[in-house]
Each structure stands twice: as structure tokens, then as C-alpha cells.
Structure 1
Amino acid sequence: MVLLRFAPSPTGALHLGGLRTALYNHLYARKLGGKWILRIEDTDSARYVPGSVDGIRSALEWAGLGYDHGPGKDGAHGPYFQSERLDLYHSYTRKLLDSGHAYRCFCSSDKLNSTREKLARTGSNVTYDKACLSLTEEEVARRVRAGEKSIVRLNDDRLPKRQTPSDIIFGILKDAHASLPTDPVLLKSDLFPTYHLASIVDDHEMGITHVLRGEEWLPSLPLHLDLYSCLNLSPPQFAHLPILLNPDGTKMSKRKGDVQVLDFMRRGWEPEALLNWLALAGWGVHHENGGTPDASPSRTSLQAPDSTTLMSLSELIDQFDLPSLTHRRNILDPLKLEYLNKHHLMRSWQTNEGIEIHAKRVSDSVKIAFPSSPYTSIEYIVEVIRALQGRIVNLHDVPSLAPFFFIEPNYSTDEAKAMIRSMTSSDYNNSVQAVARRLSVQSSETIDISGVLHDEADKSGLKQRIFMTAVRHALTGMKSGPSIPEIVGVLGIQRTLARLKYAVHMGHVDTQSI
């Protein structure tokens, strides 16, 4: 049974890097017909942020990434909060102590700092002098009975032989033991485990077969493999995901803000587009027999999806190939998100139901932007969306893209003034009057707006651009937007006529002939 896990710490809101990790766990589990667990790694009480777990769960639900087991979805692998699994970590700690692979250290923080500084001055890579390793069993027992605080360290002098570190994405790795601290801490003085011990124990006890996590944990892989060997356990397969970068090349960090999933939810981005964007960031060579856990270079390579290929979640699952991810750190380009979001919206608007769903979603924003407008019904907003299709990048753009659909045009803006700056008042008024005259005498049921516009433009002798700009100005006060027939289709003949007459009136032209 293929089983993966997404294991965030409740130290704040879910950020883009965390969402991508959850996404890849979801894709790989579904690709291989398996499941995935949401596990909360809450062993660092000092960094715990109240409400974080609810925020993480809400973000995953919004994105459509449904975990199989975890908080709110109990199963055979619980409990799913590490703070509720302390007895398990203590049991494994005793195994390591009894086998001599770990020992108790009673050194104070001041002494440890002093020792570390002393060793550093000598140019040594050693970070601890192993002072407590020489304590006798009797001395250790006496100090424990006396209530002295201690930590438990791994004894790296007694590490068993084990396999060379390897990774599904990065392949065979150099065994970088030299970069690890001397005798790493496994159990802290507050009796809570470090990440290293807790993750190993939980992954084994839960039956995790594949560990997909961020590249920042790659240097810790040798330590984790050491722990598996010391406990005589078989490790899962590891895949470390290259780090996401900002457009300026800096590392994305939730400490810097502006990368929280909640921000993207509030700004109106489509969850499908956000997942599409994250999934394809760093998607490299695609392999013909993708979905297998090996990274063999002999497999047939195919062209990977372009980073702006429009893909639904099911399409991502179908094409996902974990070994195809590049080793490079990946820049998240906001322009690609805009492109994907626009086209995911357009795809969803191919059905009436899809448009209505989005009209309901944007209705509150429209009502807030235009509180006095009588044109904010769901049915009306549906028609607005139809007219704006292909122009909307984000649903939140609707009020700013076409305010003229909800309120009267503002002719005093710089944009409105610029539209008719090179136009004579006679040309403007004649153009607007001609269209208004035709619309007022024809039946609204049979009228061909496009035909009327081109017919009257030809009669006027004006260039099409001047004629159409005058009419667009009168109806919208904005130089860009849907076609004039589409605008009239949403406004209706009566509102269109009222605006044309008002525009001429503002130019002080006699309106009696209209």
C-alpha cells in the first residue's frame, strides 16, 4: 500500500512551498493508487501559533487536496498530532539508549555554548566534546533520579553500516556526515523529540512508503538513514523538492510574508490555477514510464509540459512523474499565474453552470464596489461575465474592468478625456446622435447592433476608428472593453439610448432630434 504524508508544523499559515509539497504528495499518492496522511508536527511549543491547524486544513480544502487520514479523518495511523505521540518517541529513545546508539547528556546550555566556541577556535568541525558519553551507567541513573535535566544524543561513534543516501529526484547523494552536528540531539530536556527522531518514528509506525519534503531537509538525510539503521528499520523512499524562489531570486519564506495561501484565496485566484502554477514550476523531463519510484536514466524521455500548460488536477495526476522534477531551484513567475488563472476561468465558463458559480462568487465584491447600483443581481452579473470573457484575469477584476455596466460612465477621468481629445465636437455628436436615432426607431427584438454601427459609420464619412471611439466613449467612458454590440447587449436598448442622449446633452447639443 503506497502511503505518503504531508507533515507541516503549526507555526503559521500555510505558504506556497507547503501547498506545493502537499500537492506533490497528493499527485504521487493518487498516481500510484495510494493514500496520504496529514500529520501535524507540533513538538515545538514555543513556535506554535493558535489557529494554524485550522488554517492549514482550510487551505487544503480550498485547494481541493483532500487527505485520506489526519485531523478530522481518523484512521488506523492516529493520533495525527505529534504532541499526542510522546510515549511512542520515549519508547524508541529507550531502545536507542539500551543499544548504546544514544546516551544522556547533562551539560547545561552555557557549557554547551562554551564548548562549541572553544572547539571552533581550534578550527575543528566538531560541535560537542562528548563529555557525557564517558559517564557510567550508575552515574547517569543517579543524576536522573536526582531530577537533573538531560537531553538524549545519538552516539555517532557507533553508527552501523547502511546504504548510500539516494533520492528519487536527486539520485545518488554524497554522504555529507561532516555537515551534521556532533552527536545530534534526539530528545530535548522538555521530553519532546526533535524533528529527526519524531519524523523517523512516525514514518515507520504509520507505514509511510515515500517521503516527499522540501530540499532544506536534504542535508539531514544521512542522519535520518543512520537512525533507521540504529533501530534496524527499513527506510521509506525519499524525494526532496527543490526550493521555490521569488522572481528576484530570493528564497520564498513565510517569515517575509506575501506567500501565504490565504493571501491568494483572498485575492480571488482560482485554486485550480494556483495548483497548476505550483505543479509545473520545476517540472522537467517527462519519462515514458513515469510514476515508478526509480530514477533510472535509461528510461525514455519525453517533452515535459510547458510551464503554462493548462492542466486540471486530474490531468496533473495522470501526467505527474516525480523523477522528472528538475534539481534546480524554481522561480514562481506571477505572470504565469495570471495566464493560467485567466484560462482556467475561461475553461469553467464553457457551461452556464460554471458562469453562474463564478457570478455568485464575485457578487459580494460587486455590491461592495457599487453599493447603490440596482444592477447587481446574479443573473445580470452572469451577462457581464459573458461580455468580459477573455478579459478577466481574476474574478476580483470584474468591478474595475467594467464599472460602466453597474454605474453611469465617468466622463471626467483622464482616460475619458483622452479618448476624444483629437475629435471635433461635431464629429462626436453626429456619431452618437446617428446611432441613437437608429436605435430609437427599430424594434429591440430584431435590431442588429453591429449592422447599425457599420451602416451609420459608412454614412457619416468618418473613419471607423473615430466613429466607434465616439460611441464607446458615450457608453463607457473607457477606451478598452468588450465590443460595442456586447456592451449594448448587457445594458439593453433603453439604458444604451439614455447614455447616448446624456453624452450628447453633455456636449450641449440639442437632443430634440433624437
Structure 2
Amino acid sequence: MHIPKSPVLRFAPSPTGSLHLGGLRTALYNYLISKKYGGKWILRIEDTDTLRTVPSAVENIRKSLEWAGLEYDYGPGVGGPHGSYFQSERLDLYRHYVNRLVENGHAYHCFCTPSHLKDVRDGLSKRGSNATYDKTCLRLSEEEVARKKRAGEKFVIRLNDESIPARSSPTDLVFGSVKDAHSSLPTDPILHKSDGFPTYHLASVVDDHSMGITHVLRGEEWLPSLALHLDLYACLGLAAPRFAHLPLLLNADGSKMSKRKGDVSVTSFVEKGWMAPTVLNWLALAGWGSRHTGKKDGKEKKAAPTSTEVLDLNELIKQFDLSALTPRRTILDPKKLEVLNKKHLQRAIESEPELEILAKKAQALIEERYGSTNSKIAELDFKDILLSLKERLGSLNELPFSLEFMFNQDEVLSVHKATATIDTAINSKRYADVLSKYIVAIEESKASGSAWDESAIRKIEDIREERDELVLLRRALTGKKVRLEEDMMFKYGCAFGYHDAPPWTGGDTPTVDECSSMG
């Protein structure tokens, strides 16, 4: 697929609620193409449906894009050569174009009341007609139209679907050749409403033309409207942009992803601690199939990335190819999100600049969970903790639970009591002996006057003789059969946990598997 240099694209959400995953994917694809080919992309707010507009939605959309790192070139808060970027502030422009359609005979005023329109639809349906309007007002003379307007009668402006100029059949960059869907459209669709606002169809076409949009990427749900939009371009004598409709995203059960089925807002993914690069990676790979590179001797297939291949934003820009998108609808697998997030988190921890940022976020999470005035927090090296836990953490939000043993001994004690079942005296004695051994070693080290540093901690580690000791120490700290990295356990367990560990009055004997995995 050839995309010329310097394309201009737009992301044009309606502010009817929080930005959802489907909208973020559309914004991402617009961003990737504009950056890949040296172009621009615009954020345009399509707020012509005043009844459904949510006042806080625009701010949510902007913050969600900012979180994702998708910086638009023109739009609200940025400005640009084609502002305003709110459709509600461009009403004069739409009136100009709709009047142009009326003057050219491609549109007309309709004064029919809602009750009359209902009677017309019912009558047409009873006669077996697929039409939704009988074109009553198309037959009004100019004098009749002028008289009704002077009398203050409300009106809309409709497209005259009998006056559409000839044009070629539509071709979509994802779906290929598609049929004109005129049969699914209402008869003489409304272009301009009685409240002075345009419908989506007119406003979208006018704005895409006036803003110099070369490629329109939008959801599959707008594919049935493509024929109408191309008709409008033809009626106005304007060149149409190239269209690419993105297949719908599906829930894990195969149902259509929507705001009504589960929490699919970008905000919810932010709150759950998913990393922005992870979510973008996950969305970008949804529906990414093999692509063809045309050659004289045939076509070669270039393999698509695996569904859990780690790609940051710069790597996505380099590799993304619109022609590789499959027209099939795609299930967003939450398991793949988990896998990707763990990989992205590991990559970030291994990068010093990103580790600095993560350490600050980690401290904020701990302060939020255990209190910003907790004196123990000052003793923690969050960079060191993240490096120790990088193979274990799936999300930064897991960190407060991983460090619970340092702050919440009441919880550890309750777990000990809850898991204390029948056990032999030998197991209880073994637990007590191991715990005592390490407490004595810690006290002796501190009493010697030596610095309590990495070297001292390593000496404590070196007194381990049996494999089960690590398992028992983990139980002492957490009350659970959890995996806890050795350096974490000794460095912070020595400081926070062993003296406070409750006696083990019951519980399971460490299994061979537990001990061998720790040894």
C-alpha cells in the first residue's frame, strides 16, 4: 500500500463519555501513520450531538491521550491552522456548505413534523416499501419554502438522493472493495437539523475537506455511512480522502466490546496500573496480520509480530503497516495484556532513566497504601526493590502487596493463625530453630559495631545450611507460601520482619518442590 509523504489524519471522537479502548486504538493508528510518513494528525471534537455531550469528556480524552504519549499536532489546547477544533464552534461553515447543496439542487428544506414523519414511515412500511420518507417537501416551491420560513416553521435540510452525481464504487484500505450501502440508509438523509447543528455526516465531510485530511481512519461501525459520505463529496465537487475502517474489537467471550459490557475506558486501565506502552502494544497487535510486499515475480508475505511481541512506540512506528491489518474482528485477550505488561515492566526496570521514574511511582503507591508518614518507607531503596522483583512483578500495582510483610504484621499474624492446622512438634521446633538462628546472627552482626550494609547482609545469607530455611523464613515474614527473592528477604526481612514473626504453631511442612525451587 502506497501512502504519500506528509499525510494528514484526524482522530475525531464525540465527547459522550470517557475515551475507550477502541477510540485509543484509532488514535494510535492515526499517530503511527502520521509519524511513519512525516505527516500530521489532528484531534477534532465532534460535539454536534448536544443531548449526549458530557462536559468532562473532552478533558478525559485529552488526558488519556497524554497518558498514552500520543501527542497530536493540532487540536484543543494546541491550536493550528484550521481551528476551531470543536465542531460546535464551526456552525457558520456547515451552513455555508449546506446552503451550497440547496442552491445546486442536491438538498432541500423539509418542514414535516415528527408526528407526520411517523405516519409517513408507518404508511410506507405497511405498503412493503423500504423507503423511510415520501419526499413531500421536495415538491415545495421556492415561494412556499420562503413563506414557511417567514412563518417561523421549524425545518431540517435533507439530501436529495435522486440527484447524486455518478461516482466510482468505494474502496477501503482495510476491507478492499465494498458495496454501496444505499439500501441501508434512510431516504433523503438529514444533513442539517432544526436546532442549527449539522448531522455527523455533513460536519465530518466538511471538516475533513477544510482541514486537508488525506486519510480517514475510523471504526468499522461507520462503514455503512461511507456511501453517503462519498455522495456528499460528489455533490459538493470535492476530492474525497482515502478511507480505512478498523474492525471492531471483541471481548474475551466474542461479544462486541462496548461501554455497557465491562469497564473498557482508558481511565480504568490507568487506575489498574497497566503501563501505557503495554496498552498501546496490546492494541496495535490486535488484528495485525501478515502483509504483502508486491514484486514482479509475485507476492511475498512478511510475518506479523507475535501476539505478545514487545514493541514500544518508536518500534511500532517503524513496523506498523496499514496493509497488514486484517478485516476480521479481533478478540482482546486480557492474558496477553498481562504477559506484555510484565515484559514492558522488566524492560523499563532495566533502563536507568525509566527505573528512576518507576521508583518514584512505587514510593507513591506504598505511601498511599501504608501512609506517607510511615517511618519504614524512608529505609527503602525502591530502585533496589524493583530490580529485585523485576522477574516477579506483573504490574507496579502489585508492589504494595509484595511488601506487605514490611508494614502489616497484624495481617501476617492473621495469616499465620488462619493457616495453622495440625502439625507435628518437629515442624514447629524446626521453624523456631531456624528463626532463632537468623535472629541471633542478625543481633551479633549489629552488636559488633560493623556497618549494616550489603556485606553484612550477605554474611547473614551465608549461614544458610538447609534448603528448607528459605521457605521457613518466607513463612515467618509473610505467613504465606509466597516466592520472595533472597536479597529482598534478607535485606528487608532482617530490618522489618524476623523479630516480629509469630511462632509457627501449625501449617504445612515445606515440600520438596518448595525447598528445591529455593535452593
- TM-score after normalising by structure 1: 0.89
Q: Secondary structure of the equivalent of 1:377?
A: helix
Q: Secondary structure of the equivalent of 1:316?
A: helix
Q: Which residue of the partner structure matches residue 333 of structure 1?
A: 333
Cα offset, 1:217, TM superposition: 0.2
What residue identity is the alignment partner of 1:18?
Answer: G
Is 2:123 the counterpart of 1:118?
A: yes
Greater shift in the superposed pair: 364-373 or 201-210: 364-373
What residue identity is the alignment partner of 1:388?
Answer: L
Is 2:463 the counterpart of 1:452?
A: yes
Q: Which residue of the partner structure matches residue 386 of structure 2?
A: 385
Residue 490 of structure 1 is aligned with which of 484, 489, 492? 492
CA distance in 1, matches of 2:393, 2:420: 24
Greater shift in the superposed pair: 298-307 or 396-405: 298-307
Aligned-pair identity (%): 51
Greater shift in the superposed pair: 25-34 or 353-362: 353-362
The equivalences for 1:62-211 within 5 A come to 62-211=67-216
CA distance in 1, matches of 2:95, 2:477: 74
Q: Secondary structure of the equivalent of 2:218?
A: strand
Q: Which residue of the partner structure matches residue 431 of structure 2?
A: 428
Q: Deviations over 1:125-155 (max 9, x none)?
A: 1111111111112211221222211111111
CA distance in 1, matches of 2:77, 2:299: 41
Cα offset, 1:53, TM superposition: 1.0
Q: Deviations over 1:224-257 (max 9, x none)?
A: 0111111111100000001111112221222446
What residue identity is the alignment partner of 2:412?
Answer: N
CA distance in 2, matches of 1:373, 1:78: 50
What residue identity is the alignment partner of 1:434?
Answer: K
Q: Secondary structure of the equivalent of 2:164?
A: coil
CA distance in 2, matches of 1:327, 1:260: 24
Cα offset, 1:298, TM superposition: 6.0
- Residues 362 and 395 in structure 1, CA contact (< 8 A), matched pair in contact too: yes
Cα offset, 1:162, TM superposition: 0.5
- Residues 165 and 231 in structure 2, CA contact (< 8 A), matched pair in contact too: yes
Distance change (3 Å), C-alpha of 1:155 and 1:504: closer
Gaps of 5+ in 1: 291-295, 458-463, 508-514
CA distance in 1, matches of 2:10, 2:206: 13
Greater shift in the superposed pair: 170-179 or 208-217: 170-179
Q: Deviations over 1:161-180 (max 9, x none)?
A: 10111100000111221111
Is 2:331 the counterpart of 1:320?
A: no
Residue 469 of structure 1 is aligned with which of 457, 468, 471? 471
Residue 256 of structure 2 is aligned with which of 225, 246, 251? 251
Q: Deviations over 1:280-332 (max 9, x none)?
A: 11111134479xxxxx9965321101111111001111100112111111111
- Residues 419 and 473 in structure 1, CA contact (< 8 A), matched pair in contact too: no
Residue 276 of structure 1 is aligned with which of 260, 272, 281? 281
CA distance in 1, matches of 2:422, 2:366: 29
Distance change (3 Å), C-alpha of 1:266 and 1:505: closer
Residue 218 of structure 1 is aligned with which of 218, 223, 229? 223
Q: Which residue of the partner structure matches residue 11 of structure 2?
A: 6
Cα offset, 1:186, TM superposition: 0.5
- Residues 154 and 185 in structure 1, CA contact (< 8 A), matched pair in contact too: yes
Residue 22 of structure 1 is aligned with which of 19, 27, 32? 27
- Residues 106 and 150 in structure 1, CA contact (< 8 A), matched pair in contact too: yes
- Residues 411 and 417 in structure 1, CA contact (< 8 A), matched pair in contact too: no
CA distance in 2, matches of 1:262, 1:275: 14
CA distance in 2, matches of 1:65, 1:114: 49
CA distance in 2, matches of 1:370, 1:222: 58
Cα offset, 1:398, TM superposition: 0.7
Distance change (3 Å), C-alpha of 1:432 and 1:378: closer
- Residues 63 and 272 in structure 1, CA contact (< 8 A), matched pair in contact too: yes
CA distance in 2, matches of 1:33, 1:416: 61
CA distance in 2, matches of 1:150, 1:297: 60
CA distance in 2, matches of 1:415, 1:282: 50
What residue identity is the alignment partner of 1:20?
Answer: R
- Residues 13 and 262 in structure 1, CA contact (< 8 A), matched pair in contact too: yes
Q: Secondary structure of the equivalent of 2:273?
A: coil
Cα offset, 1:441, TM superposition: 4.4
CA distance in 1, matches of 2:311, 2:67: 17
Greater shift in the superposed pair: 349-358 or 146-155: 349-358
Q: Which residue of the partner structure matches residue 405 of structure 2?
A: 404
Provide the aligned length of Structure 1 versus Structure 2. 490
Cα offset, 1:505, TM superposition: 9.4
CA distance in 1, matches of 2:317, 2:217: 16
CA distance in 1, matches of 2:423, 2:189: 74
Q: Secondary structure of the equivalent of 1:253?
A: coil
Residue 480 of structure 1 is aligned with which of 482, 490, 497? 482
Q: Secondary structure of the equivalent of 1:62?
A: helix
Cα offset, 1:418, TM superposition: 5.8
The equivalences for 1:367-378 within 5 A come to 367-371=367-371, 373-377=374-378
Q: Secondary structure of the equivalent of 2:51?
A: helix
- Residues 420 and 504 in structure 2, CA contact (< 8 A), matched pair in contact too: no
Cα offset, 1:440, TM superposition: 4.4
- Residues 86 and 192 in structure 1, CA contact (< 8 A), matched pair in contact too: yes
Q: Deviations over 1:73-123 (max 9, x none)?
A: 111111111111111111111111111111111110111111111111222
- Residues 439 and 497 in structure 1, CA contact (< 8 A), matched pair in contact too: no
Q: Secondary structure of the equivalent of 2:381?
A: helix
